[in-house]
Amino acid sequence: MPELAEVVFHASKWRAAIGQRFTLDQVNGAARCCRTLDTKLAKELLAKSTLEGAWTHGKLMLFGFENGTYLEAHLGMTGSLRVAELSEDFDRHDHFRLRGESAMLVFRDPRQFGRLTLHRTDGDLPEFWKALPPQPHDATFTKDRFDGILGRRGKAPLKSLLLQQDAFPGIGNWMADEILWRSRIRPTRTAAELSDDERNKLFEACRWVCREAVRIIGADYSDPPKSWLFQHRWSDGGTCPQTGKPLVRDEVGGRTTCWSPAWQR
């Protein structure tokens, strides 16, 4: 599930616990999502440690604790964060849990494609975090930057290009399909083939979809309106909200891609 907007939502759950002190309660060191986690260090650093901040960037989340301890989290395909009762059991798919004064912070991930990593700094945000590229909905994600990316990677199918996290951090499978559909551009086209008008459309759709998704899904996990491709894309037999004609599901760049042949050129 977790792309840009879903990540914002998950991070907000732990963010609500800012100010509480936490101690590492349980960790499943054998889980794949803990492969980049130093569990011994986590026990040492996350002991009566106050949660001071929570940030997201693309599909990444960062939680800041006192004395420059930072926990980086990626939700992979099936990861989630929740705030649980102190009495709750440690489920088979829970892999990491922090015990606070009135609540438990839980990281869960059945498929274990997610990732937890610990960072230590002198207090400031970690260097890698400060160096992350602009997100598509940031003010610093300018048309110049967008044109630069398209110019340098003109040969890849646009669907694949939009999924590259160093260029479009946070965009995942459904958001890429939504952006291309709104731009009326076929997912197999390349950046090099686009007219100026199409490039403009793609840029605007990119920012619009990211901003709206964060606003709607990021707030409380609401579904976007029926006018979005999102509502029609998940199974075979859907119809395009613009044309009423059938949607198609193809594989592009190794990923399932939903698009509207009657609408996208």
Q: Is 132 in the site for DNA (CB under 7 A)?
A: no
Q: How many CA atoms lie within 13 A of 160 on its CB side?
A: 13
Q: Tell me if 165 contacts DNA by CB under 7 A.
A: yes
Of 134, 186, 184, 123, nearest to 158 by C-alpha is 186
Under a CB-based contact definition with an 8 Å cutoff, are residues 224 and 212 in contact?
yes
Spatial contact of 80 and 141, defined as CB atoms under 8 Å apart: no
Number of amino acids touching DNA (CB under 7 A): 34
Q: Decide: is 76 part of the binding site for DNA (CB under 7 A).
A: yes
Q: Identify the burial level of 12 via C-beta atoms within 10 angstroms of its C-beta, where 0-12 means exposed, 13-18 middle and 19 or more buried.
A: middle
| Smallest gap from residue 127 Cβ to DNA (A) | 17
Binding of DNA by 224 (CB under 7 A):
no
Helix intervals (H) in the chain: 4-15, 39-45, 127-130, 143-152, 158-162, 173-183, 196-220
Please tell me whether residue 1 binds DNA under the rule CB under 7 A. Answer: yes
The distance of closest approach from Cβ of residue 60 to DNA in the complex, given in angstroms and rounded to an integer, is 8
Query: Which of 74, 97, 137, 232: binder of DNA (CB under 7 A)?
Result: 74
Cα–Cα–Cα angle for 16, 32, 2, nearest 5°?
A: 45
User: Cβ closer to DNA: 54 or 161?
Assistant: 161
| Least CB distance to DNA at residue 47 (A) | 28
| Cα–Cα distance measured from residue 252 to residue 213, given in angstroms and rounded to the nearest whole number | 23
Residue 203 CB, nearest approach to DNA (Å): 18
Using the rule CB under 7 A, is 256 a contact of DNA?
yes
Lay out the site mask for DNA across 235-254 (x = CB under 7 A, - = otherwise): --------------x---xx
Name the nearest CA neighbour of 82 among 63, 54, 106: 106
Near DNA by CB under 7 A: residue from 193, 234, 239, 265: 234
Distance between start and end Cα atoms, the chain = 28
The single residue among 24, 125, 156, 248 that binds DNA, judged by CB under 7 A, is 156
178 belongs to the binding site for DNA (CB under 7 A): no
Tell me which residues touch DNA (CB under 7 A). Answer: 1-3, 6, 32, 58-59, 74, 76-77, 92-93, 110-113, 152-157, 160, 163, 165, 172-174, 234, 249, 253-256
